[in-house]
Amino acid sequence: MATRTLRKALVAMATAAVMTTTVLTTTAAADAGASHPGHPATQEALEAHVRTGIPGVLGQVRDADGTWNGSAGVADRDTGRKRLPEDRFRAGSITKAFTSVVLLQLEAEGKLRLDDSIERLLPGVVHGNGNDGRGITLRQLLNHTSGLYEYLDDDFFKRIGTTDWPEHRYDTFKPADLVATAVAHPPKFRPGTDWSYSNTNYVLAGMVIEKVTGASYESEVERRIVRPLGMRATSLPGTSSQIPGPHGRAYSDLGGGPGAKIWDTTELNSSWIWSAGEIISTVGDLNRFYGALLGGELLPKKQQQELLTAVPAKEAGEGEAYGLGLFRTTLPCGGYIWEHGGSVNGSLSVAASSPDGRHTAVFNANGDWGDADLETVVKAEFCAAKQPVRR
């Protein structure tokens, strides 16, 4: 089990092993190891990650010129198979935007309000040690201003995410137990007075979805988002440890540092992160989701405005702000994008979009050690001068 906090900053841990680099405009081109024109700055950023030591990175960009697929390195260290656009991977905290969309749709249907207290929605769940659900709203969960303790920072989860991971990779955790771990600690601050990323918030949000709808979190995401958008390669595994469909391997040093053993972490039970980070998807499906989300296809105007109302998120970096499941990131070249990273042992991802949803990009690394940063790939894509797409 990975217990590295799924903060955007941790997406910075993506790097890769020195292997043949390819731009996957077609599978044949990938097999030949050929490099073609199109998004050269982005491709170079992918290759730079590979040179630092992680097996492989994968990306897809969609803009006015079409779809571009790029990769570097390998999907499998044993076979040397290249990374392919159809490969599925654990998307981690990119899941949070899916959770927010479901709750905003429920608000549009009149089934809840963002300013409802957590005590009203989940009576007695957030209580004790200075925690009081009466003073925390659903909005504060979604924008990380609740002050609730990050349960992944608890010593138990730190251990089973690193040294004890092999023993616990198939363990099942109930959402209520994750929240109980969090409220065993005092809050970091009074609700609404500061910002701090906490997966506890989104586990509670998933519990709200189930309480209000009477259905499972997974079924609501599938019914409201996955199926309507035709995201056929996206799944919510629940307690299953498998990645369905075509996929490469995921690799982790389990936080061991230079020289540590590298583990194959492809199979794991993601119930430890549930509605805060369980989704399995592809670069294509996540680009479709981000395009639809920022393009206004999933929410009424009022809820879209709520989604994109951001609060300062200085803990994540200067110029960062957080909406409801999305970071608003100021670009060094001017302007801003909406994005979110995701980290699960052996899989680091980031999805990003222009404000209008017309330029989207998704990247994934299949290793989690080193000091490279997938944000460098994002900035290369959105800040590079004209990057022609090979058709």
pLDDT tens figures, 97-156: 999 999 999 999 999 999 999 999 999 999 999 999 999 999 999 999 999 999 999 999
Write the CA distances from 240 to 169, 170, 185, 290, 305, integer angstroms: 11, 9, 30, 26, 35
How do residues 191-216 score in pLDDT, each as one tens digit? 999 999 999 999 999 999 999 999 99
How do residues 29-68 score in pLDDT, each as one tens digit? 332 233 335 799 999 999 999 998 999 999 999 999 999 9
Distance, in Å, from the CA atom of 41 to the CA atom of 123, rounded to the nearest integer, reads 51
pLDDT over 80 (residue 9): no
Q: What is the mean pLDDT of residues 72-92?
A: 97
Q: What is the mean pLDDT of residues 352-380?
A: 92
Contact 16, 54 (CB under 8 A): yes
How do residues 282-335 score in pLDDT, each as one tens digit? 999 999 999 999 999 999 999 999 999 999 999 998 889 999 999 999 999 999
Write the CA distances from 379 to 56, 145, 263, 366, 372, integer angstroms: 19, 27, 30, 20, 13
Three-state secondary-structure class, residue 138: helix
pLDDT over 70 (residue 90): yes
- CA atoms within 13 Å, Cβ hemisphere of 82: 21
Which pLDDT score is estimated for 10? 34
Contact 349, 234 (CB under 8 A): no
Contact 90, 243 (CB under 8 A): yes
Which pLDDT score is estimated for 372? 57
How do residues 146-174 score in pLDDT, each as one tens digit? 999 999 999 999 988 888 999 999 999 99
Write the CA distances from 345 to 106, 120, 264, integer angstroms: 32, 35, 9
Which pLDDT score is estimated for 371? 63
| Measured CA angle at 378 (ends 93, 162), to 5 deg | 40
Contact 331, 339 (CB under 8 A): no
Distance, in Å, from the CA atom of 93 to the CA atom of 343, rounded to the nearest integer, reads 7
H-state helical runs in 131-194:
138-142, 155-160, 165-168, 175-183
Distance, in Å, from the CA atom of 335 to the CA atom of 382, rounded to the nearest integer, reads 10
Distance, in Å, from the CA atom of 57 to the CA atom of 14, rounded to the nearest integer, reads 8
Q: Which residues are catalytic?
A: 93
Which pLDDT score is estimated for 11? 34
Which pLDDT score is estimated for 387? 54
pLDDT over 60 (residue 25): no
The structure tokens listed for 175 are 């959402």
Which pLDDT score is estimated for 152? 97
pTM score: 0.90
Which pLDDT score is estimated for 30? 31
Distance, in Å, from the CA atom of 326 to the CA atom of 311, rounded to the nearest integer, reads 11
Contact 346, 89 (CB under 8 A): no
Contact 289, 231 (CB under 8 A): yes
Three-state secondary-structure class, residue 378: helix
Between helix 175-183 and helix 199-213 the angle, nearest 10°, is 130
H-state helical runs in the chain:
27-32, 40-51, 95-108, 118-121, 138-142, 155-160, 165-168, 175-183, 199-213, 217-221, 283-294, 301-307, 374-383
Which of 54, 89, 93 shows the shortest CA–CA distance to 369? 54
Q: What sign does the CA torsion over 243, 247, 251, 255 have? A: negative
